[in-house]
Amino acid sequence: MRSEKKYIINEVEGHLKKSDYVYLANYEKVTVANVAALRKKLAVEKAEFHVVKNSSLRVAAKGLSLPEVDQWLKGQTAIITGGTNPTGVAKILRDFFKDTQKVAIKGGIFEKLLVDAAAVEKLADVPPVAVLKSQFLGLLKIKPQQFAALVKAYADKKEKEGAAA
């Protein structure tokens, strides 16, 4: 393999190693100004948008033992990686698409599992980790009697559903 190709593949591998997720996007109708605006929004989450060659992405993903993404390697492809908030990044991508009708999500890899565009859309609806933690802590603040009643009500509901089936 030529040294230029090795360099490009190593660069893509470096991008893929930055997080436990990678979103693949079609950036066909995107202008330079659009990319700059998107990169600025992604920087808030410490995520990055990189245009890659499909063949380089295929080889780099295989080299890192990631699932095959061949089904999405048609047309122009960009990858979005980095940061620790994949749901926040998914929200940015979803909102950017809604605002501009550009950068369509093809799919991606989330914790070494393939996810399609619909799953990425669902990830965008999940609250940030900080909100989930505060909601959980709020549950822990309720009185033990209220918690027991809540658990009993849930168990009763499941028992009724099981009896009806």
pLDDT tens per residue, range 55-67: 999 999 999 999 9
Residue 141 has pLDDT above 80, yes or no: no
pLDDT tens per residue, range 74-121: 999 999 998 888 999 999 999 998 888 888 899 999 888 999 999 998
Q: Which residue has the higher pLDDT, 139 or 165?
A: 139
Query: What CATH class does 3-126 carry?
Result: alpha beta
**AA letter at 119:** A
Domains of the chain by residue range? 3-126, 130-164
pTM higher than 0.85: no
Rounded Cα–Cα distance for residues 114 and 61 (Å): 12
Tell me what pLDDT residue 136 has.
81
